[in-house]
Amino acid sequence: MMQPRVQPTKLNLRALVFWIVIGFFCLVPVYALWMGETYPLTYFGRILIFALCALGLNLILGFGGLASLGHAMYIGLGAYSVGILTEFQVFSGWLHLLTAVVSSSLVALIVGLIVLRTHGMAFIMITLAFAQLFFYIFVSLRNFGGDDGLSLSRVSEFGSLTAQPWAVYGSILLCVLFVLWLTSRLVQSRFGLVFRATREHQSRVESLGISTKPYRLVAYVISAQICAVGGFFMANLNGFVSPALMSWMVSAELLVMVLLGGAATVFGPLVGAVTLLLVEDGLKLLTPHWPLIIGPLIVLMVLGSRQGLWGGLTNWQRRRQDASCKKALGKEAKS
């Protein structure tokens, strides 16, 4: 018997929003060059860096169910890899980046072996404890600015384009796009399927003869590396590093970005980062009491769409497609 053909929904709203957001960030350097201003590159570059770090956290939070309050530690490690090497008159950008990735990997490997023995609230508190430990370590480093932070005498050097603000912005944007692609491929791979299964029921996965610890540890290390790269970019964008980058408040802000945009979605953290930072900066222009407004506003946003903004849009798109399919099936059945 011939099956009736079902026409999919013509308007793919998710794809439209995706390309609008990506297209906007791609046009920022064009606008900056046209207007002769560098501020848009700095402002939206900062948003992209936080989006990059949120994507890193989402890898373990959204797809692995590991809520970490310590990922700001890796942002700080990436930033101080630039700051400390610069103090020793080492300006090679490749060496800065390599140091950021290697140092964060080693710390994440050691920390991961400890924290991944725990679950739930214990995992949250231990990651927070490690982050605070590193925060106070770097506060005590008076030779590198201590609590006041450290200004960079020169940014990381990658050749003749190093000093160009649009080149720094373009590098950040390309890195975000790469991490989006990497995340989408990773979560659909065999590794990603096993790791996502551990979020639902770790003991059942282990009952199949699969050791889950290596999967969770590798995901934790990759997540830390992404945040460290974000710290590397933050140091070069601001020309300044500070222990404040390791504050638990930064980790909490990343958590909010992931949950607001949609955990366990590839594009959600970027949407969450853009939304949170734009709303936050907009409220700062309106009133000095902006924290009293943004807190309840975030709660309302999360309660309004428990899957986050991007997750809610995905569910709406799916329901719309299902309704369209049912309508098409009904018409063809009648005919």
Model pLDDT for residues 32-84, shown as the tens digit of each residue:
888 888 899 999 999 999 999 999 999 999 999 999 999 999 999 999 999 99
CA pair distance 308, 194, nearest whole angstrom: 24
Residue 130, in any domain of the structure: yes
pLDDT 10s digits, 157-173: 887 655 677 888 999 99
Check residue 282 and give left, alpha or beta (phi > 0: left; psi -120 to 50: alpha).
alpha
The residue segments making up the domain with residue 74 are 42-250
**Per-residue pLDDT tens over the stretch 280-290:** 888 888 888 88
C-alpha 212, offset from chain centre: 24
What are the backbone dihedrals phi and psi of residue 147, each rounded to the nearest 5 degrees, phi first?
-70, -20
pLDDT of 154 reads: 84
H/E element, 241: strand 240-241
Residue 27 placed within a domain: no
* Amino acid (one-letter) located at 329: L
| Structural domains of the chain, count | 1
Q: Report if residue 281 sits inside a domain.
A: no
Residue 78 lies in a domain: yes
In a domain, residue 164? The reply is yes
Residue 150 resides in a domain: yes
pLDDT of 200 reads: 83
Q: Is residue 320 part of a domain?
A: no
* Three-state SS at 71: coil
- pLDDT, residue 271, reads 93
CA 139, chain centre distance (Å): 25
Would residue 261 count as lying in a domain? no
As a whole number, mean pLDDT of residues 250-271 equals: 91
CB 83 within 8 Å of CB 206: no
